[in-house]
Chain A
Amino acid sequence: MSEHTHHEESFFRKYIWSTDHKIIGLQYGFTALFFLLVGFSLMMVMRWQLAYPETPIPFVGSLFGEDGLLLPDIYNSLGAMHGTIMIFLGIVPLAVGAFGNYLVPLQIGAPDMAFPKLNAASYWSYLVGGLVMMSSFFTEEGAARSGWTSYPPLANIEFGQTIWLIGMIFLITSSLLGSMNIITTIVQLRAPGLTWMRLPFFVWAQFVTSFLLVLAFPPLEAAAVLQLMDRVVGTSFFLPSGLVVAGEVMEVSGGGSPLLWQHLFWFLAHPEVYVLILPAMGVVSEVIANNTRKPLWGYNSLVFAAVFLGFMSFIVWAHHMFLTGMGTTMSAFFQTTTMIISIPSVIILSALFISLWGASIRFNTPMLFALAFLPMFGIGGLTGLPLGFAAADIYLHDTYYVIGHFHYVVAPGTIFGLFAGIYYWYPKITGRKMNELLGKIHFWPSLLFMNGIFMPMFIQGLAGVSRRLWDGGLEYAHAAGVLHWNEFMSISAWLLGLAQIPFIFNVFYSLRSGEKVDNNPWQATTLEWEAPSPPLPHVNFEKLPEVHREPYEYSVPGRNRDYTPQTEPKKDQY
């Protein structure tokens, strides 16, 4: 705003200890992308063991032992940490921390988040949590090795779990602070005229996501506290009496229940699935509306579906627990709610598909990623239905089928959505576009190899191959016919790693050499494109915007341009 003189801030205050939502968003973004790379690297190592069991790992083998072999304990650590890092350190911070932080205030025409200091605290708490997690690799006990789900009694007695729990408590605190902030910002700081049904769908997606984080994470925090008590103080929240480990009865006070952990854990972790997918749906909606040059089909149904999805996600958690013997009544209930929750997901996906109908589509890199998101998420979602049926789940539970299902949702689904967002909003952040050719070199191989990794998992899973096996299932006769796929999947994974190099290069290369663009290079309608590129520190806009229109007024007949920004006053108001 004009009355504010921009006093120079020191480098430290401006980029490190910043309270500006844009800088914090970028801090979140770079940290999360780094962790995504780390989590992916762990998996690339594990895939060597699966493709070529018990042969020394090339290049990095010496990190895992003198003979370069991946031993079962380390394999388990890598698996547990891959899941933990990807979900809690990679995707959620990228989708909510980075995208939410950077874009929500811009899209609602606010000068900053409602609580800038809390925002900074949220980032630093995330970073501490991340470092605590990573530090566990270097301790004598090693990193957690009980899976990212940390089921007791195994997690209660395995090494490395204590540090995992402490890390989680930091991460949960971080996401609580961040999501409270996003909700308050959306409710309180919307620009004049920006009514609820004029919000871009991305903002709605962030709004629902933040509610899930605020309400679902605390029970996991409770569970983490209980497990920490079990490990440190010697309580038996999750340990039953007479527990036998390695042929001997364990000395525990007993009386606890391993199932209690699963209930508390999945009460978080199912809404968490929607935390992973909703922001990506938001990003994809923005990109699709812009590049089809049409209003989104069924904006209202998208919004109501997202809200309903958020609500339902709290009452489906026990479909992860059909095999625990919790009883058929419980199973029937959770099977029903699970089938119901697929309806809003299908509404969202259908609305996005129908939006493409009759459009003159611009096939730029962000749009390619957004378009790929639709079928990839579709495959991920539809393969989830058999898992939601208790009877089918008995067969498929804990097989590679499950791994294929949720990776389709999160990897070529969410991650593609977030890639679309990075390519789409890069010009707003830097004032330059990312290189299109490099973008396409990034996109096509990524699409191919993503499917190369995850499609065969369905084949292996349907054959009954269990997940989390160090040798990939060599000992099992039923696996023999499908194990040859392991090599194919592993090579796909390594090539997928290579395919990310053009992206990493592009991010830095385009900073200096990308095509210079004006404030609104995509001819978009929403508020963030009214701000300068990059937006002004701390205030974003030269003059806080006023909103007069719906979010996606593209190709309205009778107008001289094919887009009308939300800030443009209506004719009769002149």
Chain B
Amino acid sequence: MNIPYTVEERPDTGLYNAKLGIWLFLASEVMLFGGLFSAYVFLRFGAPEGAFHEWGKELNIPLATINTMILISSSVTMVMSWASLKLKDFKKYKFYMGITLLCALGFLVIKYLEYTAKFDHHIYPSTNTFYAIYFTLTGLHGLHIIGGMVVLFYLWMPGSKMWHSKPEQFTNRIETVGLYWHFVDLVWIFLFPILYLL
């Protein structure tokens, strides 16, 4: 079986299959988070005047700012790792991909610290609607980070053998997983202001 356009682009669409696939997946992800964001808006308007702002004051803005920096850096290193492959520099790819993974891990560690600090103050999802949506949104986002890390780790270590047999397809894989990674990053860039700053 050989399916056309798994590696090379189809001339009239300018896409290889996986690239269209990942964009469609991201479209569905936009709708998923869009649904949750609209739930946030709905609940915020339903809450007493200023209550969401008041409840949100417990959140740790400095830590979240650091996390934002970390995620943006990881997006940059993600692009660098892809660009290294385009320049046929496998060693650099390994290096940048390693940094990306490290950033992701750092993000989760900080998130863990934030969560435990909340629990220590007896703040749970059931405390009020703000924390309900806070834990749901950041939890789901965290799951996306973990899912992304699994794939990134696979492409960093065992899956990277593919570079030696099918370099072009491997580069495409990094590009598609990169698109996903930027999306997860982008979701956080929306989460940060609506949860921590507003």
Write the chain B residue with the least CB distance to A210.
B24
The distance from the CB of B39 to the nearest CB of chain A, in whole angstroms, is 6
Judge whether B13 is part of the interface by a CB distance below 8 angstroms. yes
Are A215 and B17 in touch, CB under 8 angstroms? no
Judge whether B43 is part of the interface by a CB distance below 8 angstroms. yes
Judge whether B5 is part of the interface by a CB distance below 8 angstroms. yes
Bound-complex Cα distance A233 to B140 (A): 14
The distance from the CB of B123 to the nearest CB of chain A, in whole angstroms, is 12
The distance from the CB of B144 to the nearest CB of chain A, in whole angstroms, is 13
Are A180 and B28 in touch, CB under 8 angstroms? yes
What are the interface flags for B16-33 relative to A under an 8 Å C-beta threshold, 1 for contact and 0 otherwise?
Answer: 111011001101110111
The distance from the CB of A271 to the nearest CB of chain B, in whole angstroms, is 11
The distance from the CB of B53 to the nearest CB of chain A, in whole angstroms, is 15
Judge whether B190 is part of the interface by a CB distance below 8 angstroms. no
Are A253 and B129 in touch, CB under 8 angstroms? yes
Q: Which residues of A contact B10 (CB under 8 A)?
A: 188
Write the chain B residue with the least CB distance to A539.
B1
Judge whether B128 is part of the interface by a CB distance below 8 angstroms. yes
Are B36 and A222 in touch, CB under 8 angstroms? yes
The distance from the CB of B15 to the nearest CB of chain A, in whole angstroms, is 7
Interface of A is mostly: helix
Bound-complex Cα distance A176 to B22 (A): 12
Are B21 and A116 in touch, CB under 8 angstroms? no
Q: Which chain A residues in 244-282 approach chain B with CB under 8 Å?
A: 253, 255-257, 259-260, 263-264, 267
Are A236 and B132 in touch, CB under 8 angstroms? yes
Judge whether B46 is part of the interface by a CB distance below 8 angstroms. yes
Are A111 and B46 in touch, CB under 8 angstroms? no
Q: Which residues of B contact A222 (CB under 8 A)?
A: 32-33, 35-36, 39
Are A216 and B3 in touch, CB under 8 angstroms? no
Q: Which residues of B contact A188 (CB under 8 A)?
A: 4-5, 10, 13, 15-17, 20
What are the interface flags for B128-162 relative to A under an 8 Å C-beta threshold, 1 for contact and 0 otherwise?
Answer: 11001101100010000000000000000000000
Q: Which residues of B contact A176 (CB under 8 A)?
A: 25, 28
Give the number of residues in A that approach B within 8 Å (Cβ atoms). Answer: 46
Bound-complex Cα distance A216 to B35 (A): 10
Judge whether B34 is part of the interface by a CB distance below 8 angstroms. yes
Write the chain A residue with the least CB distance to B47.
A255
Q: Given A218-B28, A219-B31, are A255 and B136 also a contact pair (CB < 8 Å)? A: no
Write the chain B residue with the least CB distance to A219.
B35
Q: Given A218-B31, A255-B129, are A184 and B24 also a contact pair (CB < 8 Å)? A: yes
Interface of B is mostly: helix
B132 contact from A180, A189, A217, A237, Cβ within 8 A: A237
Are A115 and B136 in touch, CB under 8 angstroms? no
Q: Which stretch of A223-231, A397-405, A413-421, A457-465 is in the interface?
A: A223-231
The distance from the CB of A250 to the nearest CB of chain B, in whole angstroms, is 13
Are B2 and A256 in touch, CB under 8 angstroms? no
Are B136 and A219 in touch, CB under 8 angstroms? no
Are B21 and A233 in touch, CB under 8 angstroms? no
Are B29 and A260 in touch, CB under 8 angstroms? no
Judge whether B165 is part of the interface by a CB distance below 8 angstroms. no
Bound-complex Cα distance A364 to B10 (A): 41
Are B31 and A216 in touch, CB under 8 angstroms? yes
Judge whether A538 is part of the interface by a CB distance below 8 angstroms. yes
Are B21 and A538 in touch, CB under 8 angstroms? no
A255 contact from B32, B35, B36, B46, Cβ within 8 A: B46
Bound-complex Cα distance A184 to B27 (A): 13
Are A234 and B35 in touch, CB under 8 angstroms? no
The distance from the CB of A209 to the nearest CB of chain B, in whole angstroms, is 14
Are B29 and A236 in touch, CB under 8 angstroms? no
Are B129 and A180 in touch, CB under 8 angstroms? no
Q: Which residues of A contact B21 (CB under 8 A)?
A: 114-115, 118, 180-181, 184
B136 contact from A180, A215, A225, A539, Cβ within 8 A: A225
Judge whether A235 is part of the interface by a CB distance below 8 angstroms. yes
Judge whether A112 is part of the interface by a CB distance below 8 angstroms. yes
Bound-complex Cα distance A115 to B3 (A): 9
Q: Which chain A residues in 64-122 approach chain B with CB under 8 Å?
A: 110-112, 114-116, 118
Are B1 and A221 in touch, CB under 8 angstroms? no
Are B136 and A111 in touch, CB under 8 angstroms? no
Bound-complex Cα distance A188 to B33 (A): 28
Are A226 and B136 in touch, CB under 8 angstroms? yes
The distance from the CB of A314 to the nearest CB of chain B, in whole angstroms, is 10
Bound-complex Cα distance A184 to B28 (A): 14
The distance from the CB of B121 to the nearest CB of chain A, in whole angstroms, is 16
The distance from the CB of B174 to the nearest CB of chain A, in whole angstroms, is 18
Are B128 and A255 in touch, CB under 8 angstroms? yes
Are B24 and A253 in touch, CB under 8 angstroms? no
The distance from the CB of A324 to the nearest CB of chain B, in whole angstroms, is 13
Q: Which residues of A contact B29 (CB under 8 A)?
A: 218
Are A260 and B27 in touch, CB under 8 angstroms? no
Judge whether A214 is part of the interface by a CB distance below 8 angstroms. yes
Are B128 and A253 in touch, CB under 8 angstroms? yes
Are A253 and B127 in touch, CB under 8 angstroms? yes
B25 contact from A110, A180, A259, A263, Cβ within 8 A: A180
Are B34 and A111 in touch, CB under 8 angstroms? no
Judge whether A343 is part of the interface by a CB distance below 8 angstroms. no
A-B contact pairs, 8 of them (CB 8 A): A180-B24, A188-B15, A220-B35, A225-B36, A235-B125, A235-B132, A253-B132, A264-B35
- 10 smallest CB-CB distances across A and B, nearest first, come from A222-B35, A219-B35, A235-B132, A218-B32, A234-B126, A218-B31, A538-B1, A255-B129, A180-B24, A114-B17
B residues bordering A, Cβ < 8 Å? 1-5, 10, 13, 15-18, 20-21, 24-25, 27-29, 31-36, 38-39, 42-43, 46-47, 124-129, 132-133, 135-136, 140
